[in-house]
């Protein structure tokens, strides 16, 4: 039978997807690049973190770095910002003809300013003056943000909250005061929600963000089975990065529809199978064990 003709009540939803550009961490791994996640909403591209190799993965995914103008940074660990300058400058060299805005926790503006006005000041001036066909430098604006709405327009909203990532590891007070880590929630006008956890253990911030999300991109460093009998990994799971049990519990108790785990430490094939098993013991809805380039459509 023919499909019924669309009625005026039918609404065509804007294409929405999320892609893991990098699913690893600070270690150097040819298969898992540094953390970066790309949300596609129609023609718009929103990039979350700028880990090692993000530009290469974008091109491999058929995405154009020149289309980027909105970037969100979760925190200032090397693996999340190592290619920040690459994103700012390469987007320009690949055709960005408008201002780029980079949102991140307090201190982001200082990092961006140092990269542009100090580290790469000569590169930018050299290309602007020496290669005028690029059309001159296109500015980058950095905004330090705090929990709440970060950007809102008539199509989507991105909000953020603080998450807990190593805050109780015994650092001096002044350091902890300045160690701000964010998770983000993207939500379109129709209520479809994608959450990017950043680096976190199970905490109030990630639970507030993840509530009823369609997709939760959740860091999940070690299996519970890897932590048992390994004091180092057990300490990481307690203070720094969610393990399988925490990732699954957050997703289950926050009523997440689809859990995508990422930031996965190198593991054997057996450990990868164990990861899936451990998550499945707690979380019963859709699960994707992340790898670079994994694409989830909403």
Q: Which residues bind Zn ion (CB under 5 A)?
A: 77, 199
> Given the complex with Zn ion, which of 57 and 77 has the nearer CB atom?
77
> Smallest distance from the beta carbon of 132 to Zn ion, in angstroms?
40
> Smallest distance from the beta carbon of 3 to Zn ion, in angstroms?
48
CB atoms < 10 A from the CB of 9, how many? Answer: 5
> Given the complex with Zn ion, which of 40 and 265 has the nearer CB atom?
265
**How far apart, in whole angstroms, are the C-alpha atoms of residue 271 and residue 273?**
5
> Given the complex with Zn ion, which of 137 and 239 has the nearer CB atom?
239
> Smallest distance from the beta carbon of 66 to Zn ion, in angstroms?
28
Categorise residue 151: left if φ over 0, alpha if ψ from -120 to 50, beta otherwise: beta
**How far apart, in whole angstroms, are the C-alpha atoms of residue 74 and residue 254?**
21
> Given the complex with Zn ion, which of 159 and 200 has the nearer CB atom?
200
> Given the complex with Zn ion, which of 199 and 202 has the nearer CB atom?
199
What is the number of helices (H) and of strands (E) in the chain? 11, 14
DSSP designation for 2 = P
**How far apart, in whole angstroms, are the C-alpha atoms of residue 209 and residue 211?**
6
> Smallest distance from the beta carbon of 260 to Zn ion, in angstroms?
18
**How far apart, in whole angstroms, are the C-alpha atoms of residue 280 and residue 233?**
21
> Smallest distance from the beta carbon of 242 to Zn ion, in angstroms?
12
């Amino acid at each position: 039978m023919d499909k019924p003709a669309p009625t005026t009540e039918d609404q065509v939803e804007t294409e929405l997807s999320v892609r893991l550009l990098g699913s690893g961490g600070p270690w150097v791994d040819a298969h898992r690049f540094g953390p970066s996640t790309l949300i596609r909403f129609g023609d718009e591209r929103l990039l979350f973190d700028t880990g090692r190799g993000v530009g290469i993965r974008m091109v491999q995914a058929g995405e154009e770095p020149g289309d980027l103008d909105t970037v969100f940074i979760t925190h200032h660990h090397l693996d999340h910002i190592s290619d920040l300058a690459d994103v700012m400058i390469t987007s320009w060299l690949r055709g960005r003809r408008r201002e780029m805005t980079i949102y991140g926790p307090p201190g982001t503006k200082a990092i961006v300013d140092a990269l542009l006005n100090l580290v790469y000041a000569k590169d930018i001036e050299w290309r602007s003056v020496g290669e005028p066909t690029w059309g001159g430098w296109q500015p980058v604006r950095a905004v330090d943000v705090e929990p709440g709405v970060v950007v809102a327009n008539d199509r989507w909203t991105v909000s953020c909250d603080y998450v807990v990532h190593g805050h109780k590891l015994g650092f001096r007070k002044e350091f902890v005061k300045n160690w701000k880590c964010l998770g983000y929630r993207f939500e379109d006008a129709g209520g479809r929600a994608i959450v990017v956890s950043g680096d976190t253990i199970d905490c109030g911030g990630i639970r507030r963000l993840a509530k009823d999300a369609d997709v939760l991109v959740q860091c999940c460093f070690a299996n519970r089975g890897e932590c048992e009998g390994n004091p180092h990994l057990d300490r990481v799971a307690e203070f720094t990065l969610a393990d399988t049990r925490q990732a699954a519990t957050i997703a289950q108790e926050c009523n997440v529809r689809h859990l995508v785990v990422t930031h996965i430490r190198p593991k054997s094939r057996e450990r990868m199978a164990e990861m899936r098993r451990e998550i499945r013991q707690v979380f019963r809805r859709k699960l994707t064990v992340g790898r670079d380039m994994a694409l989830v459509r909403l």
